[in-house]
Amino acid sequence: MTGSSKPETIVLHAGYRADPTTGSVAVPLYQTTSYQFRDTQHAADLFALKELGNIYTRLMNPTNDVLEQRVAALDGGVAAVAVGSGQAATTFSILNIAQAGDNIVSSTDLYGGTWNLFANTFKQMGIEVRFADPTDPENFRRLTDDKTRAYYAETLPNPKLQVFPIREVANIGDEFGIPLIIDNTAAPVLCRPIDHGASIVMYSTTKFIAGHGTSVGGIVIDSGKFDWEKHAKRFPLLNEPDPSYHGAVWTQAVKPIGPVAYAIKLRCTMLRDLGAAASPFNSFQTIQGMETLPLRMERHCENANTVAEFLSTHPKVTKVIHPSMQDGESRRRADTYLKGGYGSLMGFELSGGKSAGETFINSLEMFYHVANIGDTRSLAIHPATTTHSQLSEKDRLSSGVTDGYVRLSIGIEHIDDILADLKQALDKA
């Protein structure tokens, strides 16, 4: 590793240099479930965490390890744990520190899958999620009490695409000793939430990080900056003997390794017990995609800015939702937290309402009509008849999805072809 702090170099070199036995320059795919122990002492030391090393692929894998080191380096973290999906990353990031009877405070502006997990599944598990409108960061303080274990938010949540006030909420968390967990799925490279005070960052690597739309995956990054020991009363899961690991106290057990208690516990308990392991093949694919992530983000953002300008002057478009089109506090937050572009997600409203939205989508020739974001290809969906169709009209409108709202994820095709496809579909809508 070169030790570079530049994203373009990190994605090619962090965590791996030519394979010592074969000289392989590409990161090898270690498609194995298990690892031969040298002898019984070696095996015992690995299980007792006296020595770090490979035991079983549900817990760790050398291909996953390169991805983990690369993503941790990209975001300025000390360690990362790759898992089977973005949903698993969100789930583990919270279950690692919260149990029945606890609560977390989350932004209202969330991916629908996360909303369901928080409002329903966590509730069934006895973890209360209190929802705070991020327009006013003080809402997080108002909902905090002795049982609050984390704040949670997305950097650039769709459909509103209003950047989250990371530093403002992290500062409130500092006062109480509460870590801020940020889902940075929509803004890799553009934003490094740890630089703005976040303690934990997670991604659905399924989206921009992998880019090619071949592999579902997720990752949780530990900044190493949160002092779990100082706030021992709030975090018993990290500071009291863990009966599932021969009474280990995680903050003490990892001291010789570094400030990685959160990451090590997540690997040793969440992956061991809940089992949503990352597939090495998917990690291999994600590593290939990630090599071009900074370059792709540049082009995604450049194309998206041009599309936003084009749409904003189109007679059938009443509103364009993209940070480049915002002003006031939303724009200030976008300019503070996003560097090098405003992301490739965008929404717009058609004057013709629901039927115009449907006609527009059905008329697209190059854009794919899918429930996904962050692919190299341009994507579109009409949320009112798909992703948000199960919500009541009131809830749908308050989430920012009007009848004529269309969501775009602008890809890296030539801008002329992107504009031509949008133009011919708008002509019919």
Residues 217-256, interacting with ligand PLP (CB under 6 A): 218
Span of 79-87, 223-231, 336-344, 348-356 interacting with ligand PLP by CB under 6 A: 79-87
Angle between helices 415-428 and 353-363 (to 10 degrees): 130
Residues 151-180, interacting with ligand PLP (CB under 6 A): 154
What is the C-alpha to C-alpha distance for residues 92 and 154, in angstroms, rounded to an integer?
A: 16
Q: Does 92 bind ligand PLP (CB under 6 A)?
A: no
Options 144, 204, 282, 303; binder of ligand PLP; rule CB under 6 A: 204
Closest to ligand PLP by CB, 70 or 234: 70
Q: Does 216 bind ligand PLP (CB under 6 A)?
A: yes
Question: Which is nearest to 225 in space by CA: 253, 270, 192, 268?
Answer: 192
Closest to ligand PLP by CB, 186 or 412: 186
Beta bridge partners of 380: 369, 408
Q: How far is the CB of 218 from ligand PLP (least distance, A)?
A: 5
For the sheet containing 103-107, what is the strand order?
79-83, 218-222, 200-204, 180-183, 148-154, 103-107, 128-132
Say if CB 306 and CB 413 are below 8 A apart.
no
Q: Does 86 bind ligand PLP (CB under 6 A)?
A: yes
Alpha helices in 185-244 (DSSP H): 236-239
Q: Does 373 bind ligand PLP (CB under 6 A)?
A: yes
Beta bridge partners of 182: 153, 201
Within a 13 Å sphere around the CA of 373, how many CA atoms are in the beta-carbon half? 24
- DSSP 8-state symbol, 370: -
Q: How far is the CB of 212 from ligand PLP (least distance, A)?
A: 14
Q: Does 87 bind ligand PLP (CB under 6 A)?
A: yes
Options 16, 30, 92, 111; binder of ligand PLP; rule CB under 6 A: 111
**Amino acid letter at 55?**
I
What mask of x and - would describe binding to ligand PLP in positions 177 to 196, judged by CB under 6 A? Answer: ------x-xx----------
Q: How far is the CB of 279 from ligand PLP (least distance, A)?
A: 12
* Contact footprint for ligand PLP (CB under 6 A): 85-87, 111, 113-114, 154, 183, 185-186, 204, 206, 216, 218, 373
